[in-house]
Amino acid sequence: MIAACSEAGMPAYLERSRSGEGGHVWIFFEQPYPAVKSRKILISLLEKTGGFSIFDKGSSFDRLFPNQDYLSGKGIGNLIALPLNGPLVEVGKNCFIEPETLKPHADQWKFLEGIQRVPAAHLDRIYESLKHSTQPAIDKNQTKQTEGLNITLSNIISLNRSGLDVALIDFLKEELNFANTEFFIKKKSGRSTWGTKRYFNLVEETADEIILPRGFIGKLLRYCKKQNISFKFRDQRNKKSVMPFTYSLTLRKHQEQVIQAARKKEFGVIVAPPGSGKTVMAIKIIAEKQQPALIIVHRKHLLEQWVDRIEAFLGIPRKDIGKIGQGKGKVGKQVTVAMIQSLSKKMATNEAANLSSQFGILIVDECHHLPAKTFHETISKFNSYYQYGLTATPFRKYSDGKLIFTQLGEIIAEVKPQQIDPLKRARVVIRNTGLEVPFNAKVDPFETLSKILVHDTARNKLILNDVAKELHKGNKAVIITERREHIQTLDQFLKQSYETVTLSGEDTEKSRKAKWKLLETGNFQVVITTGQFFGEGTDLQNVSRLFLVYPFSFKGKLIQYIGRVQRSEIKPVIYDYRDSRIDYLNKLFLKRNKYYRHLERQATLFDDPADEPLPIKSIQLNRWIKVPMEQLGFQYGAIAFFYTDSQISRQLEFEIENDYIRPEFEVLKPYFSKVIGSDKVEVEIHAEIENGELVAQMANCPELERINREIIESVKFRFFDEALVRYQGSHLCLASGKKPARPPGLPYCHR
């Protein structure tokens, strides 16, 4: 930035900030100059150097002073602390430094005597030259379009820069720039964040255009129409010649509803639980659209399953189905199935241009993986006329699921479990484990609790007895845990009497392949594995018993797991182990149980399977409430509050998950209130009480869930800045009884 200013004939000078962590670039004028002009000049230089984009949230650029084009008349505008605060200068802060060495100038007063001021006439020449620039600077104060908006849709969305106004800029920035969870997880766990972006900024810029992901087109067009923004729309998607297909399968009722939605929409995400026949629906969509298709998967066995079904339902010989992956790179005339890893490598070669234009329809299986960099970077290169995503769980644990919808489009159809006909309703059996360990989530490491849990003899005996009982009845079972040592412990006992198969990250590829072959033939009684190996794309038609033996709370996992056993001919039974005597683990269960109860209301939820249902007195709580900020309790990874309702006779504690929150942020509550714009937050609460026992509980608050690392850092800055002002205000008189010497005409700079 300093070099760019110098090239423009505007000498610039660097000051280290009061904190010592940032810097200010100062440019001195010879005469007073209109802020509206000086701001446009500086914004254009910032854009030229790449140090600033109006769409950025994570830029090192913070503010430009003057901060407004014109004064409102209500005050004197935004202020910046002047340099040369005595005590700070002594420690190398709040003073001017050499840009090359970052060392303070030895004599600050002498340095200031030698600064060069920019004449107003020179500034006018620069300002006039901007009017003839081919790259118009986007200014936040530009409230109207300077030209009509042109929207072009291909593999991307292109907008002309000159067609943007401030409202549209703010809309794009809010919708298409959000935190990258990977960065904050790495930072929180002490790992290097080098090379990891702080934010997903999905807005790209060229000299004349703004580029957006194509799945955002629906939201963009609706916004423009709602705001009465005039625009011209050009459709440059790639529609190929008609490709006839023969489809030989009768759809079920819930599948027909999805097909109807796809007939009306050219982009979008289809949400359907496991066992609903997503593959069958996608093949029907391909047949109806009559376009050469590319199907993208992320695992080898998914690729093989797709090839099997394409051969069966479309009648395409196996040899004519294109495959990219497993050492093959053949494109089929009608349908190609590709592994994302192999496809991304192929798109990095000179074949990319040809390959990206060969398909008229794109299907992304298990599209909730799209936030992964390889996925969205590869998919964005294809200019198909149609594109659809398939998933059972469109939401992501860390809220980066927006990447799915911005790339593929919004949800166009959603199948609920109860819509599937015939639906084999899962029966849920809850076991109270009796495990009791002193555990404080604020100070105790979870890994210690985990080790105790997986090695607890009584807990494991309860699990093993339940498994043995089901296997004796002739049922096949899957046990899901999240720790390899737990797999080993359970296998050690079960393999003595039953045919067991274990699946974990320790298996070699050869071993894993052999085990999957064994599972597909049905020559097993119980599978012991982790969610990673059982959740997605697992077709085990003959498993009817599911044992969830390790605690978790994420709804997406639960949907995947339950769906896998609902494919059985036998009514499935799910065993869940509730560690009710450990508050932290019990809260995880209450979140799981909310979904269990959503699936099916049943009286035997807490009973032994053979017992008769007890008469139940049930109280349900579903409402929005306002909670004062001061009543919120900040914990590690959660925000807690208490609520009492006239329906219930006791106080309930609710928690809202937020991985960025820490107990020490309690002092920042007034600043969070300013960011949110209120001293109260709106919270959606859900609770169910049966026979006096709390059986399900959940709380959501969009305002609090919006708090991310960027907001926290901003709030902390305000807090420390104001604390420093208060401290210095009470200590200035003690700092020195002597005023430092200064050249005539230069004022003292005090804060």
Question: Once rounded to an integer, what is the mean pLDDT over residues 312-329?
Answer: 87
Asked if the peptide bond before residue 66 counts as cis, ω within 30 degrees of 0, the response is yes
**pLDDT at res. 422:** 60
Closest to 629 measured CA to CA, from 663, 596, 589, 676: 676
The answer to whether residue 491 scores a pLDDT higher than 90 is yes
**pLDDT at res. 21:** 87
Question: Once rounded to an integer, what is the mean pLDDT over residues 473-486?
Answer: 93
**pLDDT at res. 228:** 92
Place of tokens 């957006």: 212
Closest to 392 measured CA to CA, from 592, 216, 214, 558: 558
pLDDT tens for 697-706 read 888 888 887 7
pLDDT tens for 2-26 read 988 999 999 999 999 998 988 999 9
Tokens of 6: 């110098």
Most confidently predicted of 56-60, 228-232, 420-424, 724-728: 228-232
> Residue 431 corresponds to which amino acid?
R
Q: Is the pTM of this model over 0.85?
A: no
Return d(Cα 406, Cα 375) in angstroms, integer: 13
Q: Strand 573-578 and strand 545-548: pairing?
A: parallel
CB atoms closer than 10 angstroms to residue 87: 13
**pLDDT at res. 693:** 79
The percent of residues in the chain predicted with pLDDT above 70, rounded, is: 82
Closest to 214 measured CA to CA, from 160, 161, 176: 176
Band (pLDDT 50/70/90 cuts) for residue 731 is very low
- 745 Cβ contact list (under 8 Å, min separation 6): none
Band (pLDDT 50/70/90 cuts) for residue 607 is very low
Place of tokens 């794109």: 362
State the architecture of 142-236 in CATH terms: 2-Layer Sandwich (3.30)
What residue ranges of the chain are covered by domains with CATH 3.30.780?
A: 142-236
The answer to whether residue 482 scores a pLDDT higher than 80 is yes
Element (H, E) at 363: strand 361-364
**pLDDT at res. 255:** 92
- CATH class of the domain defined by 253-419: alpha beta
Place of tokens 């045919």: 499
CATH superfamily placement of domain 427-606: P-loop containing nucleotide triphosphate hydrolases (3.40.50.300)
Q: Where are the extended beta strands (E) located within 613-692? A: 618-628, 633-635, 638-643, 652-657, 680-690
**pLDDT at res. 39:** 87
Asked if the peptide bond before residue 747 counts as cis, ω within 30 degrees of 0, the response is no
Closest to 605 measured CA to CA, from 473, 543, 693, 685: 693
Return d(Cα 413, Cα 500) in angstroms, integer: 39
**pLDDT at res. 502:** 94
pLDDT tens for 180-223 read 766 766 666 666 766 677 777 888 888 789 999 999 999 999 99
Where is average pLDDT lowest: 171-185, 342-356, 489-503?
Answer: 171-185
The percent of residues in the chain predicted with pLDDT above 90, rounded, is: 40
Return d(Cα 338, Cα 527) in angstroms, integer: 29
The answer to whether residue 53 scores a pLDDT higher than 90 is no
How close are the terminal C-alpha atoms of the chain, in Å?
27
Query: Is pLDDT larger for residue 611 or for residue 80?
Result: 80
Question: Once rounded to an integer, what is the mean pLDDT over residues 506-516?
Answer: 86
What residue ranges of the chain are covered by domains with CATH 3.40.50.300?
A: 253-419, 427-606
- 98 Cβ contact list (under 8 Å, min separation 6): 14, 104, 105
Per-position DSSP letters for 497-525, written without gaps between them: TS-EEEE-TTS-HHHHHHHHHHHHHT--S
Return d(Cα 450, Cα 438) in angstroms, integer: 13
Question: Once rounded to an integer, what is the mean pLDDT over residues 249-254?
Answer: 80
The answer to whether residue 317 scores a pLDDT higher than 70 is yes
